[in-house]
Every structure is written in structure tokens, then in C-alpha cells.
Amino acid sequence: MDSKVKQYIEKQKSPQKEICQKLREIILSTFPNIVEEMKYGVPYYGNKYYIVALKSHVNLGFKIKGLTKEEIALFEGSGKTTTHIKINTFEDIDEKRIAKLLKMVQMKF
């Protein structure tokens, strides 16, 4: 694990800490060779995905370049270049859905 990413995750309060750890695990198991780094103050993966812990939840962000309007509608954010899904609790983590979204974005780049 990148030491700065580790520091970022370790300093989070529960449940954000555990959510971040699980999301990281899903990303790395889906793409074992993906580059993990800190960018813009948050963990970034392959310049396509990011994890950001917020006060009451965690966002898993995705670049949306090349996605159709229908594909973008699968996410919650409304950004022009990135969007996200919001994870409120550890139990909200749907590994299959997240892996499917990760792979969909990966295929567009």
C-alpha cells in the first residue's frame, strides 16, 4: 500500500475508515496492477477512480469520459468530468455493483 494512502485511510474515523479500506480492496482485487497514489489530497487509482472520506459518508469517484448518458445515470454525482457513488455505511457496500461500475469505466478508456 502506498504509504500516503495508508496514512489517509488510517486517520479516518469509523465507519469511514472501514469503508475506505473495503473500497480500496475492491479496486485492487478488480485491477491488481492499478497504480495507487495520492492525488488532490485523496487516494487515486489509475487516474480513473478515487476514494474520499467525508464527514458522514465516503464517495467512490469515477472519471466519466466516454460514458453514455445512460451509463452516467448509474452514478449519483453531477460533475462534468467525474461522478461518484455515496457509501453511508459498511453494509451499503455492494461489491458486485462496484466491480461492474469499475469495469465499465475501465472499458471506456
Q: Is the pLDDT of residue 104 over 80?
A: yes
* H, E, C per residue of 51-63: EEECCCCEEEEEE
Q: What is the pLDDT of residues 46-85, one digit of tens each?
A: 999 999 999 999 999 999 999 999 999 999 988 999 999 9
Q: Is the pLDDT of residue 1 over 80?
A: no
User: How far lies 8's CA from each of 1, 25, 29, 70, 82, in Å?
Assistant: 11, 15, 20, 33, 21
What's the mean pLDDT when you consider all of the chain? Answer: 96
**79 vs 87, residue with greater confidence:** 87
Total domains present in the chain: 1
Q: What residue numbers bound the domain in which 62 lies?
A: 3-108
Copy the grid coordinates of residue 37: 497514489
Name the phi and psi angles at 84, rounded to 5: -155, 170
Please, which pLDDT band fits residue 108 given cuts at 50, 70 and 90?
confident
Please report, for the domain that includes residue 37, its CATH number: 3.90.1150.200
pLDDT of residue 90: 98
- Tell me the residue type at 60: L
